[in-house]
Amino acid sequence: MMRKIKVNDLCIEFEEKLSELNYSDDSMRRYKAVFNDFIEYAGDCDYSQSNGTDFLVWKFKQYGFSAI
């Protein structure tokens, strides 16, 4: 069973893990920008595969990818 976690908390945990793995400052900055977009998109909801996929489709459409 998958644990319930707020999108904001998931992004914080993911960012901490990337930092532990010594990702570069530049990579961290780029990830943080995507995390912030995801948090804004998802609001205060729990993470689900569905809202993760919906966010990615929305993000790709912002970049002009319409085949998704």
Q: Where are the domains of the chain?
A: 7-62
Q: Is the pLDDT of residue 68 over 80?
A: no
Give the residue with greater pLDDT, 67 vs 6: 6
pLDDT tens by residue, 19-53? 999 999 999 999 999 999 999 999 999 999 999 99
Dist. CA 8–CA 63, nearest whole Å:
23
Q: Which of 49, 11, 62 is nearest to 19 (CA)?
A: 11
Which residue's entry shows tokens 């570069």? 24
Cα separation of the two ends of the chain? 29
Q: What is the pTM of this model?
A: 0.84
Q: Is the pLDDT of residue 1 over 70?
A: no
